[in-house]
Structure 1
Amino acid sequence: MPGTGNELGRRQSIPILYTRGTHYEVGFDVGRTFGSLIESFVNSSTALNQEYLPAYNTPGGKQAYDATLNNLIQNYPQYIKELEGIADGSKVPFYKLFLLHIDDVILPTVHKEGSKQPTGCSSIAINLKDQAILGHTEDALSETLNHFYFVSAHIISDKPQGRWNVKEEKFTSLCYAGHLPGYTMNYNHHGLVFSINTISAKDVQPGKTPRHFLTRAMLGAENFLQVQQILRDTGVGAADACSVNMTFLQQEGDRVFHNIEIGPAINSSETQLSALTISCGEHFYHTNEFQRLKENQANPLMLLSSKCRSETFKNHHPPSTFEDVVEMLSDTSHPEQKVFRDQPNDYVKTIAVGIFDCKKKTWSLYSDNPKHNEPLVVLPLVLKNSKTN
């Protein structure tokens, strides 16, 4: 079995793949290029091997798997083809990669509670006249350390794809090994910049659209109305929950950020949505709990971590600069529930920190605590029909 990321220690390395083609071709190139990372991650993933696979091997779990897959084949066939490409390119079975994408959705068919691992992320947005920043810690189970990469893709289809009839997508996304783009921190050529915070809803809905596919579809969005349409997913609705922190770099008028909480479509064919606007002069942060939606939450360890990280942010003065965001996302002051997580025996580690400077149109990526390290890379945000803000 390949060594896990933890055995290697924290590497100062984030590989990037530039790729162009159909959904399947892009997926295949990702799988072929990062096959060893994907295989290593699949072999070492405790969530996959100790939770999702045992659930899949039960009648209820297989039924939830099939119902969810059939929904996606009908509504998002292009992303299933993309994932098939990753599986074929990496020579890792499709069903294992698909299980990583439906995660908690399959678990309540076996036991009432979903995953109990305290995974999650922290996001901070500041929207001032002279500063517009979105910062994010990418926190994941410790074996995810060193199992991630950038995908910069230009996908061109000969005919409209999926329920939103998308023919072209161009984006850059930080991806966990073997995962579709869209569920960490990302931007597309229309100027959409966004980060994701996982929320563990108690009443997940097998057969509906997993959050990972909703956020994958966001990479094709041209404006805020399209983002809302994608997340609302009318006719099906979300299977689970997350929070989206976002802005458009080229929007008309004053810049606004949005935080959108999405909750599972319970007794409904439409996602629960709660959108908050962060106007000029305001700041905002989100961890891994519902701040506005009144929905039951699972995973007490994640909730505890979220509340502690939120309290830590409240102890800082209101952020107004890039450096303030670095300081907050680097915070290790809490004795147990730190913002930047890197304790030797932590189940969860901060695998990367990203900060989008929406004025300078840059994306700074740190593979270690940004308070003590320079960014490993600063990527320019390359946009379609770029305008002066």
Structure 2
Amino acid sequence: MPATESIGRRQCIPILYTRGSHYEVGFDVGRTFSGIINSFVDSCTVLNEDYLPAYETPEGRKAYEDTLNCLKANYPQYVQELKGTADGANVPFYKLFLLHMDNIILTATRRDDDIKQLPHGCSSICVNQPGQEILGHTEDALSDTLNHFYLVSAHIISDKPQGRWSVKEEKFTSLCYAGHLPGYTMGYNHHGLVFTINTLSAKNLKSGKTPRHFLTRALLSAENFYQVEQILRDRGCGAGDGCSINMTFLDQEGDRLFYNAEMAPADKTNESQLCILTTSPGENMLHCNSYLRLKVEEANREMVNSSVARMETFCKYPAPRTKQDVLGMLGDDSNEKYSVFADKPEDRVVTLAVGIFDLIERTWTLYSDNPRKNEPLTVLPLQVKSK
């Protein structure tokens, strides 16, 4: 019986503090969380029923190899990090890599039309008001993922520059799905970059390009907004799939600015499609799981419908001005079919956790259950590098 059915929602977010090379950090993650990772790999329906059969086809194997070779050329350090996680957990590397390819492999095998249309649902709210600078986020995923996540706080120091952006040091804390690289949820780095991710479902995915999981992993190395944009555009290759990134820098000069970047697959070019919106003081920003600005054909109609419904729920509230306003909105479960906070027994997509980044207090508050009804599980300080 899958763990999600037998043990219910656990009030638990384990955390690992680790330091070393990319491989060593990955190995420590795999070794420490091997039970959670193996449980997830065994119970993950989309991996076992969709990705693995696609991988066994000639088209799927080619898409896998083309994508892996692209990453070995541009981001070899993150391939090594993922290999470390696989080795530490004693899980085949290809299974973890398929999780990072996501639906790219289904598009390559023309199986994307057969995948279940599920209303994935991360929701993000930015509040940029006098005395209140808040980035709030619900982390939603397939119900298989419930209780299969953890926090990684890592310090990586390399003896020589790594990857296409020549990075020698990374220090960050990120919520991670079991067996996944850090970066594709919510987290921050020691340069003060704070960000959350919303999955977006572009239809025309590309193998042999950079999966979004690796681009958001690379964001954890970014020192400034120029580097953020450089990483997301990924000139010379481009993204293979899409997502939305909500972000700010703790110590930016001048007024507080929030950014929302919509990223879509590279289309007949060698760089990602990218559109960035800036939120200035006195403004707020909302984003869920559909493209609001880029003109991109979307594949998952259920995800779009859910996103529209959650935005409509948000619009029923007065414009948020405080942390408590954000918590109330992110905990809303009033919509019977498309709740902001999803936790019904029949839901195939559920809210795993809620995070609140307070940029003035410099804290990251995490809830493992509905924040309307529960106290936070932990409050972490946002620790940045000394100038």
When the two structures are superposed, what TM-score results if normalisation uses the length of structure 2? 0.98
- Return 5+ residue gaps in structure 1 as ranges: none
Matching residue's letter, 1:145: L
**CA distance in 2: counterparts of 1:155 and 1:266, whole angstroms:** 34
Answer yes or no: is the 8 Å Cα contact 1:237–1:270 preserved in 2: yes
The answer to whether the aligner puts 1:55 opposite 2:54 as a matched pair is yes
Which deviations, in whole Å up to 9, do the C-alpha atoms of 1:133-158 show, x marking residues without a partner? 00000000001000000000000000
Answer yes or no: is the 8 Å Cα contact 1:123–1:136 preserved in 2: yes
**CA distance in 1: counterparts of 2:89 and 2:119, whole angstroms:** 29
**CA distance in 2: counterparts of 1:140 and 1:263, whole angstroms:** 20
1:39 corresponding residue in structure 2: 38
Q: 1:14-25 to 2 correspondence within 5 Å? A: 14-25=13-24
Which deviations, in whole Å up to 9, do the C-alpha atoms of 1:51-92 show, x marking residues without a partner? 111111111111111100000000000000000000000000
Secondary structure at 2:259 match in 1: strand
1:86 corresponding residue in structure 2: 85
Answer yes or no: is the 8 Å Cα contact 2:63–2:108 preserved in 1: yes
Deviation of 1:237 (Å): 0.3
Answer yes or no: is the 8 Å Cα contact 1:355–1:365 preserved in 2: yes
1:310 corresponding residue in structure 2: 311
2:261 corresponding residue in structure 1: 260
Deviation of 1:115 (Å): 5.5
Matching residue's letter, 2:46: A
- Identity across matched positions, percent: 64
Matching residue's letter, 1:369: N
Matching residue's letter, 1:53: L
Answer yes or no: is the 8 Å Cα contact 2:103–2:112 preserved in 1: no
Answer yes or no: is the 8 Å Cα contact 2:121–2:340 preserved in 1: no
Secondary structure at 2:383 match in 1: coil
**CA distance in 1: counterparts of 2:378 and 2:85, whole angstroms:** 25
Distance 1:239 1:9, change over 3 A: same
Matching residue's letter, 2:48: N
**CA distance in 1: counterparts of 2:2 and 2:197, whole angstroms:** 28
1:251 corresponding residue in structure 2: 252
When the two structures are superposed, what TM-score results if normalisation uses the length of structure 1? 0.98
Secondary structure at 1:143 match in 2: helix
Deviation of 1:211 (Å): 0.3
Matching residue's letter, 1:79: Y
Secondary structure at 1:55 match in 2: helix
Coordinate RMSD, CA, aligned: 0.9
Deviation of 1:112 (Å): 4.5
Answer yes or no: is the 8 Å Cα contact 1:41–1:143 preserved in 2: yes
**CA distance in 2: counterparts of 1:174 and 1:221, whole angstroms:** 17
Answer yes or no: is the 8 Å Cα contact 1:142–1:346 preserved in 2: yes
**CA distance in 2: counterparts of 1:112 and 1:298, whole angstroms:** 9
Which deviations, in whole Å up to 9, do the C-alpha atoms of 1:95-152 show, x marking residues without a partner? 0000000101100123253652222300000111211000000000001000000000
2:238 corresponding residue in structure 1: 237
Answer yes or no: is the 8 Å Cα contact 1:4–1:40 preserved in 2: yes
1:98 corresponding residue in structure 2: 97
**CA distance in 2: counterparts of 1:383 and 1:236, whole angstroms:** 31
**CA distance in 1: counterparts of 2:5 and 2:270, whole angstroms:** 41
The answer to whether the aligner puts 1:133 opposite 2:140 as a matched pair is no
Which deviations, in whole Å up to 9, do the C-alpha atoms of 1:242-284 show, x marking residues without a partner? 0000000000010100000000001000100000000000001
Q: How many residues align?
A: 385
Higher deviation after alignment, 317-326 or 6-15: 6-15
Answer yes or no: is the 8 Å Cα contact 1:104–1:115 preserved in 2: no
Matching residue's letter, 1:217: A
Matching residue's letter, 1:75: N
Secondary structure at 1:194 match in 2: strand
**CA distance in 2: counterparts of 1:3 and 1:237, whole angstroms:** 37
**CA distance in 1: counterparts of 2:378 and 2:298, whole angstroms:** 36
